[in-house]
Structure 1
Amino acid sequence: MTDPAAELGAQLARPGGPGGLQTRSAQVDGVTDLGVNLRIGEELILDVPCADSYRNRAAGDWVAVTRGARPVVIWRLGQDPGVETEDEIRELALDAAAEIQVVRAVAWGTGEPFGTGWQAVAATHVRKNEQGKVEYYHQLASETDPPPPPPPSRAPSPVTITATSSGSWRNGRPDDYASNPMQGDWTGGGNRRGGWFYGMKIQTACAGKTVSSMAVTFTRARGSGANGKRPMHLYLHSYTSPPSGQLALGVGPEDLLRLSVGARGTAILPTSWRTALAAGTARGLAIYANGSTDYAAFTGGSLRITFAAT
């Protein structure tokens, strides 16, 4: 008994096979600003464009790509994302609702209100809470019906912190020849180290809140080292702005991301790192590597901070 799927695959693979759309499977090596980097066997194909229908792209996805001189990713292979998408929409809706001022219902007239359960208000009090939302409190002359339960506490909305500046250092001083933060040494001129600086923005955003996670996003710059995936050797540093001398490295390294050229990636910082950044005992992020093996340049450095309800 033949397998129809295997038979169709064999037909598509044969020269002069059936006409129409012919595809093959490939795995996404990294997501770039122009599309995706694809891994097909041992070959790395850079910046392959994608159909608009391919959303929420991520490294590791298996996709269908057209054959030809200019391949195009046309869809992702995998499970039905419907349930996951519904959960994401609900969470976004709750976040949006928490950001706006809502009054459940409003009515007025010259006579008594219609229906049961109404209570006369002796005085109305109003205030603005810590999130800048208006709260009303109705003081009753007598209580004939208990108030509804208070709404469940929600975590403060996430914030995204971008670096105020960045740069590279080589041989103990700023490297004016590097346009982006870099790690390693390609030409024998000395190992580079790069840094991202946030001033006091991280500590200010976290003040009075319980941090549940910090996620940082970087993009591997083109034209730096080998095209294949290279790890970022991440460190903490204690500077609010770029130093005039050597950039001293703090705790590290942590290899949280491996990116091919042009690819973008997001990594969750270790718990101890987010604690240090929130408290201000660390101020920013740095990279460093020895030699040419992991030589690479990176851009980005935005931090998305989420909080827990208190």
Structure 2
Amino acid sequence: MSDAARRLGEAMSAPTPTGAGTVSGEVVDVTDQGVNVLLGGALILDVPCLASYRARARGDWVVVRPGARPVVLGRTAPDPGPIDEDAIRTVATEVALDAQVVRAATWGTAAPAGTGWQTVTALFMRKNSAGKIELYGQVTAETDPSPGAPGTPAPKAVTLTPSVIASYRGGSRDESRTEAYQGDWTGRGNLRGGLFYGMSIAAACAGKTVASMKVSLSRVPGAGVNARRPVQLYLHAYTSPPSGQLGLGDGPEPVLSLSAGASGTATLPASWQVALAAGTARGLAVYADGSTNYMALTGGKLTITFSA
């Protein structure tokens, strides 16, 4: 709990003429501990939330119980039932397809096409490339048309994390920093940070069609101003931290803005996805000039989804 949050909470906890027990505020960012909330013009960091406040997002208007330790009680929103139902059905279908033993059951008068089938009297079976069992029943006459075999599902999403995060200043690595820094707070020179994934991104994409790549980053509290600032993202071509300067590729792309302690996820530009999938780019970097957008970042989880 920040000192600002404590002071504001104490002030707001004083009895009011109306006896109001809650106030409203706007969520500026989501953090690992709760949310950063704008209350009465003041940015309050890491306000804890009740577990019932789910799917937290920037821009939510929330109900806050003031006090020495403010707590977010929840937000006003439409009934989530109809919204959740579609998402639950989608997840349930994916789980069922993953868990089932038999992927497809079809039949016909001719022998099945393809390789790998094993005949048991008039029943054929095989295991496909995804490890799922397929059955084919050969019949003398079709009294009921065979159902079609389900289509091949898209490859599962892949989540990758950086093997190393490092920062550079003055043309060499700053060994004292284990987060990715951008900008300059002390006048000693601009910092640039790198997230290194080896060749794991290209390996994960080999033979597949990328639908999207999203990166999740968290801003470390205590580095720079508390207000939201843009993460200035670049590509780089290194599999591991270089000993000299970290060269920057395409960028900057201000795809994400974070306040102190906040976490966020951004979709990488389409051209970056192509470069990373092909291995011509191999990781991500951050860089800024001066103190305006100075910050430290950690995380770097990269989630890749595929269409085929």
CA contact (8 A) 1:213 1:268 kept: yes
Counterpart position of 2:16: 15
Counterpart position of 1:155: 154
- Secondary structure at 1:257's aligned position in 2? strand
CA distance in 2, matches of 1:61, 1:241: 39
- Describe the shift of the 1:104–1:270 C-alpha distance in structure 2 as closer, same or farther (beyond 3 A): closer
Instruction: State the one-letter code of the partner of 2:57.
Output: A
- Structure 2: gaps (5+ residues): 1-12, 106-118
CA distance in 1, matches of 2:244, 2:124: 57
Does 2:131 match 1:126?
no
Moved over 6 A (4+): none
Instruction: State the one-letter code of the partner of 1:154.
Output: P
How many residue pairs get aligned? The number is 283
Q: Deviations over 1:26-79 (max 9, x none)?
A: 000111111111012421001111111001111111100012222110011222
- Secondary structure at 2:202's aligned position in 1? helix
CA distance in 2, matches of 1:193, 1:136: 56
Normalised by the length of structure 2, the TM-score is: 0.86
CA distance in 2, matches of 1:239, 1:86: 44
- Structure 1: gaps (5+ residues): 1-11, 107-119
Q: Deviations over 1:168-215 (max 9, x none)?
A: 011111111222110001111111100111112111211111111111
Counterpart position of 1:174: 173
Counterpart position of 2:7: none
Moved more, 73-82 or 230-239: 73-82
Counterpart position of 2:226: 227
- Secondary structure at 1:276's aligned position in 2? helix
Q: Deviations over 1:81-114 (max 9, x none)?
A: 22221121112112212222334999xxxxxxxx
CA contact (8 A) 1:235 1:250 kept: yes
Counterpart position of 1:272: 271
- Secondary structure at 1:90's aligned position in 2? helix
Counterpart position of 1:42: 41
Instruction: State the one-letter code of the partner of 1:190.
Output: G
Identity %, equivalent residues = 57
Instruction: State the one-letter code of the partner of 1:234.
Output: L
Tell me the CA shift for residue 268 of structure 1. 0.8
CA contact (8 A) 2:233 2:253 kept: yes
Tell me the CA shift for residue 160 of structure 1. 1.0
Q: Deviations over 1:111-146 (max 9, x none)?
A: xxxxxxxxx974443332222222223344554543
Counterpart position of 1:8: none
Counterpart position of 1:254: 253
- Secondary structure at 2:166's aligned position in 1? strand
